[in-house]
Structure 1
């Protein structure tokens, strides 16, 4: 039996009215030791056949559960670590054995340290550990440099290309897709279950974040999506890094959109226009409904920088 959980992620206040005696006000010993209730920011979507998707703030999480234990894909921000563990605990009492980071961004790796305290091994592509442990130039940082994260967050098992995990009777392929969202991205294919987790190589219904500073490239993201398209069929459940559960049709539409974005920006570049001139021309004005974390100007900039490389 295998359960896959895909995760995306208010403290209750009890206000007593009226006077209380000191004896009434003092909690019983059991109460004083009780843990605070875990907030519920994360919802669970049952994908069937013991697979689940967890949605909420940050990247979508995938968890597979079975007799061998629990396998988790991504773990959101640090502040959701305990809630992620609690949500998994609602599904199974099996221990978390593996956590796979699809890339190094904090909304997908932030709870690594907490996951390690459960005994889990955190896995990722080689470049993820490099990105998390060494400074590098980043236009998104106020200082112009991305600084290393705490070592407790770094993956402890890394791989260079493709690795296959035989877990709970299933074949789990962890496949590096180079120079796509970043230079360390992996997609995860549960072969028999016909489920793929794409990490941030798939933003459903919104402009994607192409992290050029981290080795990402729009053409590489298109190639990653085309690779997944070649692996799946009409019944495949596709988990994007951000957005609701998708399938083959949504992925085909995404590929067409990304190619349109690329070709429009390329035409302006071929005409000799600068980045500022292309932004001013508003080549993506008809796609304004895709504005999200990344807006039109940011998408044009990422495409321009990708095509320069």
Structure 2
């Protein structure tokens, strides 16, 4: 039986590698609320704070898109980039660091710097080289910090191991806009990157806690997917709870992973498998995650 880590190296490179032809993708800008705008291109969503202090961006997609991102930013403001915040270390969120890190200070949770600096051996998929010096965060934190920028507090909160071990929630307190990184993706199955310290149990717990503490009327920028609100996160949490519960019941009844895959999920979750993470991969992620949790519980006795 393969380990979850072995399974995860077969994932297409949404999180870690740059897709071919990415430079041809357009980058579009949409106002969100207050100081905050949303840039969409290829890879993770980018939040932009625009105001008298300059520009602050959350994530920066892939390096070949940097010229188009610059053009989109120039339409919002001719000011310089003061800060680049990374929600986690994956290349579709940090690929532009080498460019934008020459302009503004990169800020991230400590594990993000550690993983970027080390790179990663993906076995048969090749090796992700260590990041260049200019692509590394120069300001790091353990549990969180705040920046006071463009007239509001920008609150960074580290979430325990979930999507990875270095995930950060970014909340623009005055604009009432939250960027979740990949701890929340809209109407899609998520990627739990065990190889980067992620955890199924932690992922579900994190997003449940975020949902419970959402400010009223907050606008939410997910790691991937359209701008949304509390209702979008509620749908996502309901999907997580139900699919994990279904797989747990089948596993507890003695069904194999192959049987669970063959039976699939209810029709209403078909759309979630149309994103990057397909239904079979999500079922395997959940099944292996539950196995790991059960083994941990046994070892603890």
TM-score > 0.5, shorter chain as reference: yes
Report the CA distance between 1:289 and its aligned residue.
1.5
Q: 2:33 matched to 1:48?
A: yes
Report the CA distance between 1:137 and its aligned residue.
6.1
Higher normalized helix content (fraction of residues): 2
1:105 matched to which residue of 2? 90
1:31 matched to which residue of 2? none
How far does the alpha carbon of each residue in 1:20-45 deviate from its partner, in whole angstroms, 9 at most, with x for none? xxxxxxxxxxxxxxxxxx97711111
Distance in 2 separating the partners of 1:135 and 1:248 = 35
2:49 matched to which residue of 1? 64
3-state SS, counterpart of residue 122 of structure 1: strand
Q: 2:287 matched to 1:300?
A: no
Alignment size in residue pairs? 270
Larger Rg computed on CA atoms: 1
Q: 2:152 matched to 1:166?
A: no
Please say if residues 75 and 108 of structure 1, whose CA atoms lie closer than 8 Å, have aligned partners that are also in contact: yes
Residues 1-309 of structure 1 aligned to structure 2 (within 5 Å): 41-118=26-103, 120-136=104-120, 138=122, 141-143=123-125, 147-283=129-265, 286-291=268-273, 292-307=275-290, 308-309=292-293
Distance in 2 separating the partners of 1:144 and 1:284 = 36
How far does the alpha carbon of each residue in 1:179-199 deviate from its partner, in whole angstroms, 9 at most, with x for none? 111111001011121110001
Unpaired segments ≥5 residues, structure 2: 1-22, 294-301
How far does the alpha carbon of each residue in 1:253-297 deviate from its partner, in whole angstroms, 9 at most, with x for none? 111111111111111221233333322332456522112110011
Distance in 2 separating the partners of 1:113 and 1:135 = 14
Query: Cα 1:303–1:163, aligned 2, differ >3 Å: closer, same or farther?
Result: same
Please say if residues 33 and 177 of structure 2, whose CA atoms lie closer than 8 Å, have aligned partners that are also in contact: no
How far does the alpha carbon of each residue in 1:179-233 deviate from its partner, in whole angstroms, 9 at most, with x for none? 1111110010111211100011111111111112211122222222223223324
Please say if residues 39 and 83 of structure 1, whose CA atoms lie closer than 8 Å, have aligned partners that are also in contact: no
Distance in 2 separating the partners of 1:134 and 1:49 = 37
CA RMSD of aligned residues (A): 2.2
3-state SS, counterpart of residue 240 of structure 2: helix
